[in-house]
Structure formats: structure tokens, C-alpha cells
């Protein structure tokens, strides 16, 4: 058992508490990792506010990189000392989604089940004598974590962990939504709703695909300079118009965009993103986590005319296969990650990090 520090969330709508926790050794087919860097993602904040329902107490965090400390019995592909990225969407290689070339949402994921436990139904974390739940099979807001071997990817030993941790969620999710899920084509027009780290990664994916026009939409104009730096051709603020934003986009593009992306997680922006794409062959992708217990109402004629409405989890990538390749692409300078990193804090200042997230900074 390793005793280390972790940021424990004891209950909803409260700050994280830095506690000493006990991390059990890895069981069969499990890997224990020393976490070196972790990103803060809005999905973590969704648990705090109750938008994403999970059991408490819990150790959040799912976008990270680290070094393997030890492995359980039966683990053959990963050894202590390897640099790795934990995968909140695992790849077991055996379920229907893993076996289908079009699928990536492995049935072993905790996304949608909210059990907060390892695949065997138990936890590896204890604090003050209490069992602490895992988050999405990763739990990275801790100095050490345990993951199943299907939920970890070995990466280039030269990769800078404080950058490539973003490939564990934010970057891959956005970049893949454009390249894998929407399959944006060269010369096409795109609209991206929401310019956080994931939205900016969608912009990068659209640019990589050769989109001729990328319209970035956000109510925080402070995000526009960076969006343009990463490939956005136009930036618009819905607050600057006295008509619905989908009408503004229709007027800007003539018939609507070829591809639109909702990267916020709100029902009103999801329907606006659908409505702003071309009525017959437009494709709209939901990338932001939808809020719990909320329903979307929309005019079915929007779909009847031929539009496609799709969802995308982890950018549609098969995680274990894709993450090492994405890290290799980063090392070859095929894309940048630095602009996505606004602040670097010691992890004991995690509550300050979440304040920065909530204030749009």
C-alpha cells in the first residue's frame, strides 16, 4: 500500500480537500501509476455541480500522464518505469464497440454507469478508513492511482508529460470530433460553439482537415485571439446580435455550415448548432457533456431534410490504439498543445485551478 496525497471531493458543491490516502497495490491486470501532470476539465467540474452524477466521496481527474510504479499479475505490455496516459474510455478489444471499426466507446468504461469502481466492483483508494470512489476508471487528482490495463496507453518515453497529458482528454476529444466523427473535408465550412480547450482543439482539427472557413462562437470574447491563432477565420459573440445565432450563421454562410460542433454541454446551443448546418447534408456533432435530466426539444423537420446529428466521445478514437500515435504526432510537431495551457499550478492549488476554469480564464 502506498500512502500519498490526493484531492478528495467529499460532497457536491464543496472545494477539494487535500488528504492523505492509501492506494492499494494493483490487482491482476491492473497498473499503478505515479501521476506527473493532470489537466482540469469541465467534466470534472460537472461532477462537483451535479450535472454529471457520480457517487461521493470521489477522487476526480481523468486527463493525465504519469510513470508506471508497479503492475499486477498478468500485465505483459506495460512495465514499471514506462510513461503512460490513463484512458477514461478504455479499449478492452473484446466488446462490440471495440470489435466494430466504427466504434470506440468500450463497454468497460464507467461513463454512463457511474459506479465509481474498478471493473471488479471494488476501489483501490481509502481515506480516514473510508472507501473512496474512482472517476471514469482513471482518478488522476492524486499522486498515485490504479487503472485497469485496458485503460492505459504506453507512450514515447521522450514525451513531455506536462503537455501530452492533454491527449488524455481535451485535445483528443476536440481534434477527433472534427477528424474522426465528423470527418470534415477540405474546403468545407465549420462552426464551433464553445472555445475552451476542447473547442479550440476542434478548431485545430477543422484546420488540419483543410476547412476553408471556421467560425468560432463564444460569449467570452477573450477567447477569440487564441481561436484565430489556431485556425478560426471568423469569431462571433451571440451577445452582439439581436437574433438567434443560427440565423446569423445562416446569413454568414448562405445556406448554413457543412459541419457544426457543440462543445459546451447546453441544450439550447445543441439545437442552435443543429439548426445552423446545411439543411440537407449538414452534420452537427455534440461534443460537450449533456447535463443530467435535461431534455432537448427541436423541430424534427431539421433532421427530416437530411441533416445528421451525431455524438462523439473521446473524439471517436479507439483509445489504446490512437493515444500513442497522437503523442508521436505531437513529437513530430504535427500539432501544438502549448496554446491550450493557460496556467500551470502546483496541484495543491487545485481549487484555484477550478476557479480559473469557472471564470473563463
Instruction: Give residue 155's pLDDT band: very low, low, confident or very high (50, 70, 90).
Output: very high
What is the pLDDT, as a whole number, of residue 258?
Answer: 98
CA distance 85 to 20: 23
What is the pLDDT, as a whole number, of residue 195?
Answer: 96
Q: What is the mean pLDDT of residues 92-100?
A: 95
Q: Is the pLDDT of residue 176 over 90?
A: yes
CA distance 130 to 120: 18
Q: Is the pLDDT of residue 137 over 80?
A: yes
Q: Is the pLDDT of residue 245 over 80?
A: yes
What is the pLDDT, as a whole number, of residue 219?
Answer: 96
**Coil vs helix vs strand at 93:** coil
Quick: pLDDT tens for 272-314: 999 999 999 999 999 988 877 788 889 999 999 999 999 999 9
- CA-closest candidate to residue 12, choices 47, 52, 39: 47
* Burial (0-12, 13-18, 19+ Cβ within 10 Å), 293: exposed
* Burial (0-12, 13-18, 19+ Cβ within 10 Å), 149: buried
Q: Is the pLDDT of residue 114 over 80?
A: no
C-beta atoms surrounding 311 within 10 Å: 13
Q: Is the pLDDT of residue 52 over 90?
A: no
Report all structural domains of the chain as residue ranges with CATH numbers, in order of start.
Answer: 2-170+316-352 (3.90.180.10), 182-311 (3.40.50.720)
Average pLDDT, the chain: 95
The catalytic residue positions are 41, 43, 46, 62, 169
Q: What is the mean pLDDT of residues 323-332?
A: 98
Instruction: Give residue 51's pLDDT band: very low, low, confident or very high (50, 70, 90).
Output: confident
What is the pLDDT, as a whole number, of residue 53?
Answer: 87
Q: Is the pLDDT of residue 11 over 80?
A: yes
Contacts of 240 by beta carbon, 8 Å cutoff, 6+ apart: none
Angle between helices 267-275 and 245-253 (to 10 degrees): 20
Quick: pLDDT tens for 16-50: 999 999 999 999 999 999 999 999 999 999 999 98
What is the per-residue DSSP string for 257-310?
Answer: BSEEEE-S--HHHHHHHHHTB-TTT-EEEE-SPPPTT------THHHHTT-EEE
Distances (CA, A) of 124 to 3, 40, 304: 12, 22, 49
CA distance 15 to 299: 40
What is the pLDDT, as a whole number, of residue 293?
Answer: 77
Instruction: Give residue 97's pLDDT band: very low, low, confident or very high (50, 70, 90).
Output: very high
Percent of the residues in the chain that have a pLDDT greater than 70, as a whole number: 100
Quick: pLDDT tens for 212-231: 999 999 999 999 999 999 99
Percent of the residues in the chain that have a pLDDT greater than 90, as a whole number: 91
CA distance 30 to 142: 17
Contacts of 154 by beta carbon, 8 Å cutoff, 6+ apart: 77, 78, 82, 83, 84, 324
Amino acid at each position: 500500500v502506498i500512502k500519498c496525497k490526493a484531492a478528495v471531493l467529499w460532497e457536491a458543491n464543496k472545494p477539494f480537500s487535500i488528504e492523505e490516502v492509501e492506494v492499494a497495490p494493483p490487482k491482476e491486470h491492473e497498473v499503478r501509476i505515479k501521476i506527473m501532470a493532470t489537466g482540469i476539465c469541465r467534466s470534472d467540474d460537472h461532477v462537483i455541480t451535479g450535472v454529471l452524477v457520480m457517487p461521493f466521496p470521489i477522487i476526480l481527474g481523468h486527463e493525465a500522464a504519469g510513470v508506471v510504479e508497479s503492475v499486477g499479475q498478468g500485465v505483459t505490455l506495460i512495465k514499471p518505469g514506462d510513461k503512460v496516459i490513463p484512458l477514461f474510455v478504455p479499449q478492452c478489444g473484446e466488446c462490440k464497440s471495440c470489435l466494430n471499426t466504427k466504434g470506440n466507446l468500450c463497454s468497460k468504461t464507467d461513463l454512463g454507469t457511474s459506479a465509481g469502481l474498478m471493473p471488479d466492483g471494488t476501489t483501490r483508494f481509502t481515506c480516514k478508513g473510508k472507501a473512496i470512489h474512482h472517476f471514469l476508471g482513471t482518478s488522476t487528482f492524486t499522486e498515485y492511482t490504479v487503472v485497469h490495463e485496458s485503460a492505459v496507453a504506453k507512450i514515447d518515453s521522450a514525451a513531455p508529460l506536462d503537455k501530452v497529458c492533454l491527449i488524455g482528454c481535451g485535445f483528443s476529444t476536440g481534434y477527433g470530433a472534427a477528424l474522426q466523427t465528423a470527418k470534415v473535408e477540405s474546403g468545407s465550412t465549420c462552426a464551433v460553439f464553445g472555445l475552451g480547450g476542447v473547442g479550440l482543439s476542434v478548431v485545430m482539427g477543422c484546420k488540419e482537415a483543410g476547412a476553408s472557413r471556421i467560425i468560432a462562437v463564444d460569449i467570452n470574447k477573450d477567447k477569440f485571439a487564441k481561436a484565430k491563432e489556431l485556425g478560426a477565420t471568423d469569431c462571433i459573440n451571440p451577445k452582439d446580435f439581436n437574433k438567434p445565432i443560427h440565423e446569423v450563421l445562416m446569413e454568414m454562410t448562405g445556406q448554413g455550415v457543412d459541419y457544426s460542433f457543440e462543445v459546451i454541454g447546453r441544450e439550447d446551443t445543441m439545437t442552435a448548432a443543429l439548426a445552423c448546418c446545411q439543411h440537407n447534408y449538414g452534420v452537427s456533432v455534440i461534443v460537450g457533456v449533456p447535463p443530467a435530466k435535461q431534455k432537448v426539444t427541436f423541430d424534427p423537420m431539421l433532421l427530416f431534410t437530411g441533416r445528421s446529428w451525431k455524438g462523439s466521445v473521446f473524439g471517436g478514437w479507439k483509445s489504446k490504439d490512437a493515444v500513442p500515435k497522437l503523442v508521436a504526432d505531437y513529437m513530430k510537431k504535427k500539432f501544438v498543445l502549448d496554446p491550450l495551457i493557460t496556467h500551470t499550478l502546483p496541484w495543491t492549488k487545485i481549487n484555484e485551478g477550478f476557479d480559473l476554469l469557472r471564470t473563463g480564464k
